[in-house]
């Protein structure tokens, strides 16, 4: 067992191995590991953010649904009152129309009645005159008694 | 020096054979003028091969590394990288591009070199013998050159960072003025010198000692059947004694191997941890 040139050969080999490891092995492996660590960290952060976004979205969706429900209730209420209004209006209009028709029919009837009465009166006067003429044709001067007869007809 | 290898003549031969490196002298059957150049070919071969396996497999994962779903191998590599990175971040508070890859290299490479201890002690040397390689130590970390090669590199980095962070004067002050002030400069310096040199020495010797002892115990366990066989040379090899020795060897080998899984991982971890701690100390101002 003696120390000799082997020692220096070993030092040289050792130096070369360390140099090779330092230049070509260590940086590549550490680089890949660090890159992966970064990727994983990013992924975790993204997942957390996604979770938070989801929660936020849920809250917002609830709010929107609540609003929509309120709006629907509003619209329904308005529609109901509008319908009532329409029905009321229609009813009052119909009643007014009915009354108008009734009135006009009544007045027409009255006019007809008056006219019929007038006609009847006239005809009664004519008849009376004709009858009286026939009865009195001989003894009464038509011209002399005309006023009297007209007055009678008007009193009928 | 043996010229030919005829298998273990005795238990001692067997052990010594297993603890002999394939150095230049043994490989070429010559005597070098300067023993300094007696390179341990087996240690360097296995250490380089295992280093290439480490960087190759990790580079394969790094090249195809995606930030998306990682595949099986990338997952495993990331597990180790994450583990090392955590250790570095816990102990080292400066910013350095070097420390973490250095720690990763130390941990994986030392683990792989230690792992060779779990390969059956005779397997690779026996295969080597078939192609004419007479000596082979397959665990690089049982070679002091290998462990000191690493700890001295770490030591040089410690000095480099000390001077880089604190400046030459700051480093000198640290060496001379701590812990007892300017009236005790020689004593301070001596103390600091011991303290600093103890770091690489303890790093290297701890790793070497654990693995060397572990390897030795594997060899001793292997001797059960081997010595039974050696003792009963010429007798019936399937004698009751041999069978008993075989069973004991299997049980002990299994127990020690399982225990050793812990040791090789622990030693790789300790070397990495102490490197991080020493370098972070070098970065700190006093």
What per-residue confidence (pLDDT) applies to B1? 33
Q: Confidence band (pLDDT; 50, 70, 90) for B199?
A: very high
| pLDDT above 50 (res B153) | yes
Q: Confidence band (pLDDT; 50, 70, 90) for B249?
A: confident
Find the mean pLDDT for residues B212-236. Answer: 73
| pLDDT above 80 (res B286) | no
pLDDT in tens, B29-75: 888 888 888 888 889 999 999 999 999 999 999 888 888 888 888 88
Higher pLDDT: A37 or A1? It is A37
Q: Which of A7, A11, A29 sits opposite B77 (nearest CB)?
A: A29
Q: Is B137 exposed, middle or buried (0-12, 13-18, 19+ CB in 10 A)?
A: buried
| pLDDT above 90 (res B114) | yes
| pLDDT above 70 (res B150) | yes
Higher pLDDT: B232 or B144? It is B144
Q: Which residues of A touch B62 (CB under 8 A)?
A: 24-26, 28-29
Q: Is A148 left (phi over 0), alpha (psi -120 to 50) or beta?
A: alpha
Find the mean pLDDT for residues B150-169. Answer: 91
C-alpha distance from B244 to closest chain A C-alpha (Å): 35
Mark yes or no for CB contact A4/B43 under 8 Å.
no
Higher pLDDT: B19 or A94? It is A94
How far apart CA B235 and CA A22 sit, in angstroms, is: 59
Q: Confidence band (pLDDT; 50, 70, 90) for B156?
A: very high
- b/e B51-89 (16+ beta carbons within 10 angstroms → b): beebbebbbebbeebeeeebeeebeebbebbeebbebbe
ipTM > 0.90, yes or no: no
Output the average pLDDT for chain A: 89
Q: Which of A2, A17, A30 sits opposite B81 (nearest CB)?
A: A30
How far apart CA B33 and CA A57 sit, in angstroms, is: 89
Based on the residue annotation, tell me whether B34 is a catalytic residue of this protein.
no
pTM above 0.80, yes or no: no
């Amino acid at each position: 067992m003696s120390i000799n040139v082997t020692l220096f050969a070993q030092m040289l080999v050792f130096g070369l191995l360390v140099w090779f490891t330092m230049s070509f092995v260590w940086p590549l492996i550490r680089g890949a590991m660090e890159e992966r660590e970064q990727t994983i960290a990013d992924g975790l952060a993204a997942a957390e953010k996604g979770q938070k976004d989801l929660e936020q979205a849920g809250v917002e969706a609830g709010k929107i649904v609540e609003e929509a429900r309120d709006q629907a209730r509003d619209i329904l209420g308005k529609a109901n009152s509008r319908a009532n209004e329409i029905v009321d209006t229609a009813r009052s209009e119909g009643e007014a129309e009915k009354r108008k028709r009734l009135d006009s029919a009544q007045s027409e009837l009255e006019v007809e009645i008056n006219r019929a009465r007038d006609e009847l009166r006239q005809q009664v006067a004519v008849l009376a005159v004709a009858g009286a003429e026939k009865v009195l044709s001989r003894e009464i001067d038509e011209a002399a008694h005309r006023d009297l007869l007209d007055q009678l007809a008007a009193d009928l | 020096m043996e010229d030919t290898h005829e298998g273990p003549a005795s238990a001692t031969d067997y052990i010594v054979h297993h603890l002999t490196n394939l150095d230049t002298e043994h490989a070429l059957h010559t005597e070098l003028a300067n023993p300094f150049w007696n390179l341990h070919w087996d240690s360097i071969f296995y250490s380089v091969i295992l280093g290439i396996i480490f960087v190759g497999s990790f580079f394969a994962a790094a090249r195809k590394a995606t930030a998306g779903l990682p595949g099986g191998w990338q997952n495993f590599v990331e597990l180790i990288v994450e583990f090392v990175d955590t250790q570095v971040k816990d102990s080292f508070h400066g910013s350095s591009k070097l420390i973490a890859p250095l720690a990763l290299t130390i941990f994986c490479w030392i683990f792989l070199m230690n792992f060779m201890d779990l390969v059956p002690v005779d397997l690779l040397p026996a295969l080597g013998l078939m192609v004419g390689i007479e000596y082979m130590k397959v665990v690089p970390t049982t070679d002091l050159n290998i462990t000191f090669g690493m700890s001295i590199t770490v030591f040089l980095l410690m000095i480099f960072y000390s001077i880089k962070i604190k400046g030459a004067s700051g480093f000198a002050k640290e060496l001379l003025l701590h812990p007892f002030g300017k009236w005790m400069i020689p004593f301070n310096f001596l103390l600091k010198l011991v303290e600093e040199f103890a770091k690489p020495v303890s790093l290297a010797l701890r790793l070497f000692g654990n693995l060397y002892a572990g390897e030795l115990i594997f060899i001793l366990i292997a001797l059960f059947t081997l010595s039974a066989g050696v003792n009963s040379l010429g007798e019936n090899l399937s004698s009751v004694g041999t069978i008993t020795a075989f069973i004991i060897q299997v049980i002990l080998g299994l127990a020690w191997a399982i225990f050793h899984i812990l040791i090789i991982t622990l030693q790789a971890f300790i070397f990495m941890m102490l490197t991080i701690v020493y370098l972070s100390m070098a970065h700190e101002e006093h």
